[in-house]
Amino acid sequence: MEKHEKTTFKTVCTRSRALAVIAVVLCINLCLSFVNPFRKTNIQELPHDHSWLSWTTRDFAGQQQASDIVFLGSSLLLHPLCQLDAHYLKRPMDYVDHHRQNYTEDKVKEKFGTKSPLCFTFAMPGSLISDDWIIMDSLLKGERKPKIVVLGISVRDFIDNKVRCPGATPTFKYLSKLIDLDSILDLALPNLTDRTDYAIGKVAYLWGVKPGVQTYLSEKVRSITPAIGYKGKRFTDEELEKLLTVDINSELERGMLVEPPDREREFEDNTAEYSARYKTRHENLFKLEKTFFEKLLVTAEEHNIRLVVINMPLTSLNVKLMPPGLYDEYLDTVRGLTEKHGFLFANFNDDTKFPSSLFYDTAHMNSSGGKRFVDAVIELISQDKICTTRLSNDTASGIANSGIIK
pLDDT tens readout for residues 207-240: 454 455 444 445 545 455 554 444 555 555 555 5
pLDDT at residue 142 tops 50: yes
Backbone phi, then psi, for 258, in 5-degree steps?
Answer: -130, 125
Burial of 47 (0-12, 13-18, 19+ CB in 10 A): buried
C-alpha distances (whole Å) from 56 to each of 23, 85, 223 are 41, 17, 21
| Mean per-residue pLDDT, 295-315 | 98
Q: At what angle do helices 385-392 and 102-112 cross, to 10 degrees?
A: 100
Output the pLDDT for position 251.
75
Backbone phi, then psi, for 93, in 5-degree steps?
Answer: -120, 115
pLDDT at residue 329 tops 60: yes
Which pTM was predicted? 0.81
Burial of 359 (0-12, 13-18, 19+ CB in 10 A): buried
pLDDT at residue 303 tops 60: yes
75 backbone φψ class: left, alpha, beta (φ>0; ψ -120 to 50): alpha
Reported as type and span, the H/E element at residue 93 is strand 93-94
Output the pLDDT for position 307.
98
What distance in Å separates the CA atoms of residue 335 and residue 346, rounded to the nearest whole number? 8
What distance in Å separates the CA atoms of residue 77 and residue 121, rounded to the nearest whole number? 9
Domain boundaries, the chain: 1-35, 47-392
Nearest Cα neighbor of 241 from 212, 208, 277, 202 is 277
- CA dihedral for 334, 338, 340, 346, sign (positive or negative): negative
Residue-wise burial string across 138-173, b where 16 or more C-beta atoms lie within 10 A, e elsewhere:
bbbbeebbbbbbbbbbbbbbbbbeebebbbbbbbbb
Tell me, rounded to whole angstroms, the distance of Cα 294 from its chain centroid: 18
Nearest Cα neighbor of 82 from 67, 66, 100 is 100
Beta strand 148-153 pairing with 93-94:
unpaired
pLDDT at residue 203 tops 80: no
pLDDT tens readout for residues 248-302: 446 788 899 999 999 999 999 999 999 999 999 999 999 999 999 999 999 999 9
What distance in Å separates the CA atoms of residue 74 and residue 71, rounded to the nearest whole number? 10
Read out DSSP for 265-319? PPP---HHHHHHHTSS--HHHHHHHHHHHHHHHHHHHHHT-EEEEEE----HHHH
Q: CATH says 47-392 is which class?
A: alpha beta
Q: Which residues pair with 70 in a beta bridge?
A: 120, 149
Nearest Cα neighbor of 247 from 190, 173, 353 is 173
